[in-house]
Chain A
Amino acid sequence: MAILMKFNINTGDLGRVRTRLRRIRQLPQLTSDAMMEWGKILEGDMKTAAWQSGIKSFTGTLYEEGIRWEQRPRGYTGRLFMRLYALALDGMLPHWISVKPSRTGLLAWARQARNKDINSKALAVEQGRRKYFSLMVKPHPFIMNGWRRARPKLRPILAKYAKRAVGG
């Protein structure tokens, strides 16, 4: 019996279709990659927004692991972790606090403060000439700013990865 027709799916248009189908099969992985890329942008934008709202780096670990995006390499769920004090800084009401010797971090901050009044009062507390003094603290809202900045970037990133998978 003679061969009437022979097909090779690795050539021409059929080859292209095959490549495209292989890429489409990668879509779940690419979606996960897209989310990771956006998550890192969200993390960066949150840190920038926190810095712009006036939160200083020496008050904690916010600019290191204090804000971080976590996602399993092939996971579809990503989480933005944030230290609890960052949430407090973002949403607290203005209130009075006492600066006293037992609050060492706060006292150290007060000793470095630019405001001479706070600085001298902190020195008096440190030297034991004064038991404590009070300060009014205000919120530093930044979470919504960071979110508003990062949210519009999600669609272009997903589009980029979808094009990579489907568009070839």
Chain B
Amino acid sequence: MATTEYKHGSDCTGSDGALNRTLTLTYNAKPERFLLYVSGLLLSTLSSYKVTHQDTGSVITFLNALYDDMEIVVVYDIEFTTGKVNYGNLFSRSRDNIVSLIKDNVSDPTVSSSEHRKWIYSREPDVKANDFKGFPFIIIHPAVLSFDERTINGQVRTVLWGIQIEVITSDREFGNNDGNGSIHLDLISNEIVRYLNHSTNTNVLRINGLFFIDINATSVVVESFNNTLIYRRSFMLSFKNKMKVFA
């Protein structure tokens, strides 16, 4: 998922005009898609800046003098990292773990392994937008959270997560894949179920604090949209864990 951050030199550490001032981004950025503009000029990573990618957000170090009034624009792809769920990241990390698992394992049936197409979303994409990359696509909705039993002081509780994954295919798909909506729906669904049930992946989820995975698939809904047929299947995932909910 691409994001853009607009900053000024004054948002960086250090004083006006100093060398090696640093700027911390909101998310961890993917190294392969990272563009940095200062006062409208695209900077080169060799001599102008260096980036340290870390879990709490990438840190940019400006090697040359940076003034407070300079405009900084950073365009980057957010790196979803798997990691242990704790009381501080109950919503974000649980979903990130699933996004990462799906991204790493489920393959897009419309492109070859050397191509890339955005096909995982967090909400329904605007299919009429210019940057829409076509069907099929997967929506991984934000996590739903509920709490159950608790210890007397309330510090440890049973936490229950629910994450909905939707697979949407169409009879008019990306490239020359017309008429394959139903076939691709089953192909993608097969892979999702296969990899979510795989012992290696369930172990990874368990290590990251998501225990007792339960997968329920819904029946297929066929809709007519823009004179084409859309096939939709949802997976309702649930996990639970007994864990600390505050420090």
A residues with a Cβ closer than 8 A to B are 33, 37, 41, 48, 51-52, 145, 148-149, 152-153, 155-157, 159-160, 163-164
Contacts and interface: CB of A to CB of B under 8 A. Distances in A.
B191 to A, nearest CB: 19
Interface stretch (B46-54, B201-209, B217-225): B217-225
Given A33-B146, A41-B164, A145 B223 contact: yes
13 contacts: A33-B146, A37-B162, A52-B127, A145-B223, A149-B223, A152-B219, A153-B218, A153-B236, A155-B216, A156-B218, A156-B234, A157-B236, A164-B148
Given A41-B164, A157-B236, A164-B160, A148 B221 contact: yes
A29 to B, nearest CB: 11
A164 B212 CA distance: 11
Nearest to B219: A152
B124 A153 contact: no
A156 B232 contact: no
A56 to B, nearest CB: 13
B69 interface: no
A37 B144 contact: yes
Nearest to B235: A156
The size class of the interface chain B forms with chain A is 20 to 34
- Counting from the closest, the 9 A-B pairs by CB-CB distance are A156-B216, A152-B218, A156-B236, A152-B219, A48-B124, A148-B221, A160-B238, A153-B218, A145-B223
B5 interface: no
A148 B218 contact: no
Contacts of B232: 149
A51 B128 CA distance: 12
Interface of B: 124, 127, 144, 146, 148, 160, 162, 164, 214, 216-219, 221, 223, 225, 232, 234, 236, 238
A148 B164 CA distance: 16
Main SS of chain B's interface residues?
Answer: strand
Contacts, number: 40
A160 B218 CA distance: 13
Contacts of B162: 37, 160
A156 B221 contact: no
A52 B225 contact: yes
Contacts of A159: 216
B218 A155 contact: yes
A60 to B, nearest CB: 20
Nearest to A53: B225
Given A41-B164, A52-B124, A145-B223, 15 more contacts: A33-B146, A37-B162, A51-B124, A52-B225, A148-B221, A148-B223, A149-B221, A149-B223, A152-B218, A152-B221, A153-B234, A153-B236, A155-B218, A159-B216, A160-B238
- Name which of B124, B127, B219 has the most chain A CB atoms within 10 A of its CB: B124
Contacts of A160: 162, 214, 216, 236, 238
Contacts of A156: 216-218, 234, 236
Contacts of A52: 124, 127, 225
